[in-house]
Amino acid sequence: MFAVIQFPGSNDDRDMQLALKSACGVDARLVWHKEPELPAGTRAVLLPGGFSYGDYLRCGAMARFSPVMAAVRRFADAGGPVLGTCNGFQVLCEAGLLPGALLRNRDLDFVCAWQHVRVEQAAPPFTSRARPGQVLRIPIKHGEGRYVVAPDELARLEAAGQIVLRYCDAEGAVTEAANPNGSVGNVAGVRNAAGNVMGLMPHPEHAVEALTGGTDGLVILGSLVDAVGGGGGRR
Amino acid sequence: MSRPPVEPVVDLALAREHGLTDEEWERILAILGRKPTFPELGIFSVMWSEHCSYKSSRVHLRKLPTEGEHVLVGPGEGAGAVAIGDGLAVIFKIESHNHPSFIEPTQGAATGVGGILRDVFSMGARPIASLDSIRFGPLEDPKHRMLLRGVVHGIGGYGNSVGVATVGGETTFHECYRGNILVNAFNLGLVEADGIFRGQASGVGNPVIYVGSKTGRDGIHGASLLASAEFDEESEAKRPTVQVGDPFTEKCLIEACLEAMRSGDVVGIQDMGAAGLTCSSFEMASRAGTGIEMDLDRVPQRAAGMTPYELLLSESQERMLLVSRPEAVQRILDIFARWDLDAVVVGHVTGDGRMRVRWHGETVVDIPVDPVAENAPCYERPMRRPADLDERQKLDLASIEPEDDPQGALETLLDDPNLACKAWIWRQYDSMVQGNTVLGPGGDAALVRVRREDGTATGKALAMSVDCNPRWCWLDPYAGTIAAVAESARNVACTGARPLALTNCLNFGSPERPEVMWEFAEAVRGLGDAARALGTPVVSGNVSFYNETSGRAIFPTPTVAMVGLLGDVRRHAVSHWTEPGLAVVLLGETREELGGSVWLALRRGLEAGTPPAVDLAHERRLHALLADAVEAGLARTAHDVSEGGLAVALAEACLTGPARVGVRVTLADPLRLDALLFGESTGRVLVASADPDALLARAAAAGVPARRIGETGGDRLVIAPPGGRPWIDTKLDHIAAIWERALPRRLEETA
């Protein structure tokens, strides 16, 4: 069972649940943020996009105090895979489960667009279905997605293979022009040192059908399904 | 111990200050048989304001066609409802938030979005798609750059946070909006057809429950003093009447209300919008033929020491009033508690048809419901055809110097903010949330797939578009409004959908001026005639008067939003060329029509003439043909020819796709060149087809003029006479740079 955490103000929660159910064929349930424990049989945790608690303070700063987050931390510490998209990425950074922080976009405006990202690390549990260097086209939609870490920290993350996705152009070139929000090193997605917690600003759950624009999001969600098994669902 | 607030003496002078006329004051005395209390005077003033009562417009609006085979709920409720098969219905409406947005653009626009969402979800529907129609003064004016930024931040900030996709819209810049901008917000929701709720307080003894945000002092008299009067030099002082939005609370309110409604424990529910607690309770009681007794001390309050007057008239956002059953109260309260929202029983339904309000143990309001809500004043205001209308319509084409630089003209038009790429605006809106957006912003109409609440798809999709050409409406409000309906329907038809029903937002100047009233009546007549001819009933709408400043009114702006239904979402057309090698077919005919055109305004500095003719019978045939052709796979692209004419439409189809695709077109019509390239004859659509012969045969059978004019491909836009030197021959990269930079370039100016 895939647990999609529902904070007040989450708004891609149902989209993530539906993407997992209908496009990946796995059992996915919404888990209310006030729950002290994850449901029995949870194989992976997803922190969805949205504006938890309105994001009136820093994005994700309130959500990390939700009761369920203690359980998410225990799950992560035990090696369970945790994927945070957009607001979920912000929550993971605020919770200290991922390095760095996400600040207001370079141009200050919210941006919603289809975006190319290059896969820097093709490995389980989040990107095993990708080829190294593969370019994915996945939407972004955020006002605070500018990833920042100190320069030495960035070098350390790169050396440790923790930078998973970078913004790029259609050909895979990582350029300033292809950087939609001013993220340091064009970073679009990072993982923790153990490799079982990942955050990304793009929305794989919005790229699961050709009808609504593309299927590259399945590379990421499908990798996660491959890693933990779908609980009887199709592969 | 309670201390009565210091209240002013209630008399005629105070009534006038509240925007009430002498005659309306007399009417109040007659209804009550006594002088009103101060809170009662406040109630009458908002309930009988133009904004809430439609007192100047009702006699005209009655003439609109509001019924149809699929219409489940027409005007009068929060929004209109139309059946779309599979046991589902759509609920939609467009509403103005013009005055507050001019005074305080971000909050004004944000709360406009919030209000229309509540109108939709209060009927049991989950809001799935928003559109916006926004109009400003020239961008050369720094104030209007600020207003555009503010409004876009407001719409995006609210819509993005509540998780409802903003999938399209329209933007106009014109001198006439320098003193009054327009912000019209549209929302559409999806509901099980047997799960539609109404705003009625039925069942004597049933509890009345207040849910959502606490009541504060914001927005008092927003409806009566701000939205029901024209602007003058002192309008800035009205900023405190603008409400402040909280999209986070709205998001929680949506989820909690939908949960409560699905529980079966809700009898009636309504948004506390304009005039807040007062308007919602009066309307709910009036619809059910009941009364309500309420205790203001129980109302959740944001500030200490609020008076009954303030509590009743506050327009604090994100509040709803619902009626339940006594045995279900705890279940309702539990749902809202889970979402950390206030929910309090503030009163109950009575059978005596009176609104009775207590505060600190005293009765401060005791008014019969019907005379206030239903029997509000209704005026047949004097009307007069504007004396200068003939002058406006005068245009002798023979005296207009012909265009001698078509390429330069095209570049001028593509650089006009009205025709330019609007990506700067819609990139700031989440157009994808909920995962149903098939066609987002930037095309003729948006297309949103229909999925049930549990995620199962129906295979259907909804197309929607919002349109109005205000210049045409200024030149001829009747013909201009017909053109708005026709264009909106045509845009919807370009996706392959069949137009179903429409909503409208009628933005005008002061109804107290006979010329404005005449324009209004003409617009409503045009709306009715077009809606009847196209078989698309008017299921909801909104009127915004007093869009004028110091005696200068906006152009008449009857904004029309059309909704259409597509049976098989897999078969739809797009607005851009998809690939090279397709035949380009023009449906409809180009006439020598330059009246009210963008070309005439930009290249000859003239806003004059009569708008192009609209043949509604042709439109209906055209829309049916498009639906059939798309379904049969004969039209990959279908793009409406509108402002800027054929040349601009061809350029748009080259530029709006994910990859640019060129086109080469040959035109042989014996017309003056500027009319051929830039004339805005209605009823025309560009289609790209892999099987043009089959398409032409279908068009002939349908009685729609159609001609093959060119082929897609390459990286240039070429428009040429048969065998001659091209009039226009340009690289797509060149015109793309002009068209895409037009808006950002102006907004980057800091002076």
Banded pLDDT at B1 (limits 50, 70, 90): very low
Task: Give the neighbor-by-neighbor strand order of the sheet with B637-640.
Answer: B637-640, B685-689, B583-587, B706-712, B663-666, B716-720, B728-731
Q: What is the mean pLDDT of residues B141-163?
A: 97
Task: Give the neighbor-by-neighbor strand order of the sheet with A82-85.
Answer: A28-32, A2-6, A44-47, A82-85, A197-200, A187-191, A163-168, A111-119, A135-142
Residues 6+ apart with CB under 8 A from B133: B94, B169, B170, B171, B182, B184, B186, B466, B467, B468, B505, B559, B561
| Cα-Cα-Cα-Cα dihedral sign, residues B69, B71, B73, B76 | negative
- State whether residue A53 is helix, strand or coil: helix
Identify from A212, A218, A221 which residue to disrupt to test chain B contact, counting B C-beta atoms within 10 A and taking the largest count: A212
Q: Which two tokens stand for residue B33?
A: 């048989």
Is the CB of A212 less than 8 angstroms away from the CB of B437?
yes
- State whether residue A71 is helix, strand or coil: helix
- Number of Cβ within 10 Å of residue B293's Cβ equals 18
Is the CB of A18 less than 8 angstroms away from the CB of B435?
yes
Name the one residue in this structure whose structure tokens are 């006329």.
Answer: B21
Banded pLDDT at B354 (limits 50, 70, 90): very high
DSSP assignment string, B667-722? ----S-HHHHHH---SS-EEEEES-HHHHHHHHHHHT--EEEEEEE-SSEEEEE-T
Name the one residue in this structure whose structure tokens are 């970073």.
Answer: A187
Q: How far is B106 from chain A (nearest CA, A)?
A: 14
In chain B, residues with a C-beta closer than 8 Å to the C-beta of A213 are 432, 437
Residues 6+ apart with CB under 8 A from B451: B436, B457, B458
In chain B, residues with a C-beta closer than 8 Å to the C-beta of A54 are 161, 246-249
Is the CB of B433 less than 8 angstroms away from the CB of A205?
no
pLDDT of A232 > 80? The answer is: no
Name the one residue in this structure whose structure tokens are 């690390």.
Answer: A121
Contacting B with CB below 8 Å, chain A residues are: 8-9, 11-12, 14-15, 17-19, 21-22, 32, 34, 50-51, 53-56, 109-114, 139, 141, 143, 203, 205-206, 208-209, 211-213
Distance CA(B332)–CA(B266), nearest Å, equals: 8
Chain mean position to CA B168: 11
Q: Answer for the pair B82, B500: CB distance below 8 angstroms, yes or no.
A: yes
A–B interface: beta-carbon pairs under 8 A: 90
Is the CB of B251 less than 8 angstroms away from the CB of A9?
yes
Residue-level pLDDT at B275? 73
- State whether residue A20 is helix, strand or coil: helix
Q: How far is A116 from chain B (nearest CA, A)?
A: 13
- State whether residue B217 is helix, strand or coil: coil
Shortest CA distance to B613 belongs to which of B588, B649, B587? B588
Q: Which two tokens stand for residue B742?
A: 């037009």
ipTM value = 0.95
- Number of Cβ within 10 Å of residue A133's Cβ equals 11
Measure Cα distances from B2 to B5, B42, B204, B359, B360 in Å: 9, 22, 30, 10, 7
Distance CA(A103)–CA(A145), nearest Å, equals: 6
**Backbone Cα Rg of chain B:** 26
Identify from B430, B566, B656 which residue to disrupt to test chain A contact, counting A C-beta atoms within 10 A and taking the largest count: B430
Q: Answer for the pair B631, B571: CB distance below 8 angstroms, yes or no.
A: yes
Hey, which residues does B400 pair with through a beta bridge? Answer: none
- In terms of pLDDT, which residue wins out, B275 or B739? B739
Is the CB of A11 less than 8 angstroms away from the CB of B162?
yes
B452-502 pLDDT tens trace: 999 999 999 999 999 999 999 999 999 999 999 999 999 999 999 999 999
Residue-level pLDDT at B519? 98
Shortest CA distance to B641 belongs to which of B494, B511, B536? B494
A59 is catalytic: no
Is the CB of A8 less than 8 angstroms away from the CB of B251?
yes
Q: What is the mean pLDDT of residues B552-576?
A: 97
Residue-level pLDDT at B3? 46
Pair type for strands B80-85 and B88-96: antiparallel
B181-237 pLDDT tens trace: 999 999 999 999 999 999 999 999 999 999 999 998 877 776 666 666 677 766 666
Residue-level pLDDT at B5? 55
Q: What is the mean pLDDT of residues A128-138?
A: 97
Is the CB of B449 less than 8 angstroms away from the CB of A109?
no
A28-58 pLDDT tens trace: 999 999 999 999 999 999 999 999 988 888 8
Q: What is the mean pLDDT of residues B314-333?
A: 95
Name the H helices within B316-420: 329-338, 369-373, 389-393, 406-414
Name the one residue in this structure whose structure tokens are 């810049």.
Answer: B173
In chain B, residues with a C-beta closer than 8 Å to the C-beta of A23 are none
Q: Answer for the pair B278, B321: CB distance below 8 angstroms, yes or no.
A: no
In chain A, residues with a C-beta closer than 8 Å to the C-beta of B428 are 109-112
Using a 10 angstrom Cβ sphere, with 0-12 exposed, 13-18 middle and 19 or more buried, the burial of residue B184 is: buried
Q: Which residue of A has its CA nearest to B572?
A: A211
Q: How far is A156 from chain B (nearest CA, A)?
A: 34
B232-274 pLDDT tens trace: 766 666 666 678 889 999 999 999 999 999 999 999 999 997 7
In chain A, residues with a C-beta closer than 8 Å to the C-beta of B252 are 8-9
Q: Answer for the pair B260, B332: CB distance below 8 angstroms, yes or no.
A: yes
Q: Which two tokens stand for residue B481?
A: 């409004």
**HEC per residue, B531-591:** HHHHCCCEEEEEEECCCEECCEECCCEEEEEEEEEECCCCCCCECCCCCCCCEEEEECCCC
Distance CA(B329)–CA(B488), nearest Å, equals: 45
Chain mean position to CA B205: 38
Distance CA(B715)–CA(B663), nearest Å, equals: 8
Q: How many helices (H) and strands (E) does chain A have?
A: 5, 11
In chain A, residues with a C-beta closer than 8 Å to the C-beta of B437 are 212-213
Q: How far is A121 from chain B (nearest CA, A)?
A: 27
Give the largest Cα separation in chain B, rounded: 94
Using a 10 angstrom Cβ sphere, with 0-12 exposed, 13-18 middle and 19 or more buried, the burial of residue A151 is: exposed
Measure Cα distances from B673 to B77, B591, B592 in Å: 50, 11, 9
Return left, alpha or beta for B550; rule: phi > 0 is left, psi -120 to 50 is alpha, else beta: left
Nearest 5°: the CA angle A177, A182, A184 is 110
Banded pLDDT at B75 (limits 50, 70, 90): confident
B281-300 pLDDT tens trace: 998 999 999 999 999 999 99
Which one is catalytic: A33, A116, A203, A206? A203
B639-673 pLDDT tens trace: 999 999 999 999 999 999 999 999 999 999 999 99
- State whether residue B737 is helix, strand or coil: helix
H or E, element range at A142: strand A135-142
Is the CB of A8 less than 8 angstroms away from the CB of B247?
no
- State whether residue B450 is helix, strand or coil: strand
Shortest CA distance to A109 belongs to which of B285, B113, B156? B156
Distance CA(A129)–CA(B723), nearest Å, equals: 55
Is the CB of A18 less than 8 angstroms away from the CB of B455?
yes
Residue-level pLDDT at B749? 77
Q: Which residue of A has its CA nearest to B448?
A: A212
DSSP assignment string, B250-280? HHHHHHHHHHHHHTT-EEEEEE--TTHHHHH
- In terms of pLDDT, which residue wins out, B615 or B43? B615
pLDDT of B621 > 90? The answer is: yes
Give the largest Cα separation in chain A, rounded: 46
Residue-level pLDDT at A234? 37
pLDDT of A189 > 50? The answer is: yes
- State whether residue A92 is helix, strand or coil: helix
Hey, which residues does B88 pair with through a beta bridge? Answer: B85, B192
pTM higher than the cut 0.80: yes
Residue-level pLDDT at B226? 63
pLDDT of B77 > 90? The answer is: no
Which one is catalytic: A59, A86, A93, A168? A86
Hey, which residues does B366 pair with through a beta bridge? Answer: B356
Is the CB of B432 less than 8 angstroms away from the CB of A8?
no
Q: What is the mean pLDDT of residues B61-79?
A: 91
Q: How far is A2 from chain B (nearest CA, A)?
A: 17
Pair type for strands A82-85 and A44-47: parallel
B60 is catalytic: no
Q: Which two tokens stand for residue B598?
A: 């963008």
In chain B, residues with a C-beta closer than 8 Å to the C-beta of A19 are 435
- State whether residue B623 is helix, strand or coil: helix
B97 is catalytic: yes
Q: How far is A235 from chain B (nearest CA, A)?
A: 20
Question: Least CB-CB distance to A11: which of B251, B338, B427?
Answer: B251
* Single-letter amino acid code for the residue at B718: V
Q: Answer for the pair B164, B201: CB distance below 8 angstroms, yes or no.
A: no
Identify from A17, A32, A110 which residue to disrupt to test chain B contact, counting B C-beta atoms within 10 A and taking the largest count: A110
Residue-level pLDDT at A235? 34
Q: How far is A78 from chain B (nearest CA, A)?
A: 30
Distance CA(A220)–CA(A211), nearest Å, equals: 19
B37-57 pLDDT tens trace: 999 999 999 889 888 889 999
Is the CB of A19 less than 8 angstroms away from the CB of B435?
yes
- Number of Cβ within 10 Å of residue B83's Cβ equals 17
Identify from B433, B495, B740, B748 which residue to disrupt to test chain A contact, counting A C-beta atoms within 10 A and taking the largest count: B433
**HEC per residue, B397-418:** HHHCCCCCCHHHHHHHHHCCCC
Distance CA(B705)–CA(B681), nearest Å, equals: 13
Question: Least CB-CB distance to A50: which of B163, B427, B432?
Answer: B163
